Amino acid sequence: MREEVRERLGGLFGVVSENQLPRDLFFGVDYHSHLGTEVGGIAFLDEDIEVISKDIGNSQFKSEFRECYGRIKGRLGIGVISDMEEGQPIKFESRIGTFALCTTGLARNASEL
């Protein structure tokens, strides 16, 4: 029996910036708000990777993340707007370091990976 696949939308955004990371990341991710309505998230690298993920099902990205704007520091950042229910970006450790990852896909075998 074939599982029904629902089309899901999302938007990804990444920034490398000398001095405008908060502004560029915040408004760049918000620009993709029309592509997803469930979850919004950002990750940025200062001394460590910080991940902030929020449910935006009943509000806009800007209103949910406004309070986080002052926490965004560093030169590198990624963000996602998604129709997936899982929080993103995902932060994980590997043999070669710590990473943050955004995706608009769905790993059907995530528990096996």
Q: Which residue has the higher pLDDT, 105 or 44?
A: 44
Is a pLDDT exceeding 60 seen at residue 4? no
36 against 61, higher pLDDT = 61
Locate 91 and state its tokens: 């932060």
- Write out the two tokens for 57: 């099902």
For the segment 63-82, what is each residue's pLDDT rounded down to a tens digit? Answer: 999 999 999 999 999 999 98
Residue 49 CA to residue 27 CA, distance in Å, equals 20
The pLDDT value recorded for residue 84 is 76
pLDDT at 95 over 80: yes
Cα–Cα–Cα angle for 113, 83, 20, nearest 5°?
Answer: 95
Residue 58 reports pLDDT greater than 60: yes
pTM score of the predicted model: 0.83
The arithmetic mean of pLDDT across residues 70-96, rounded, is 90
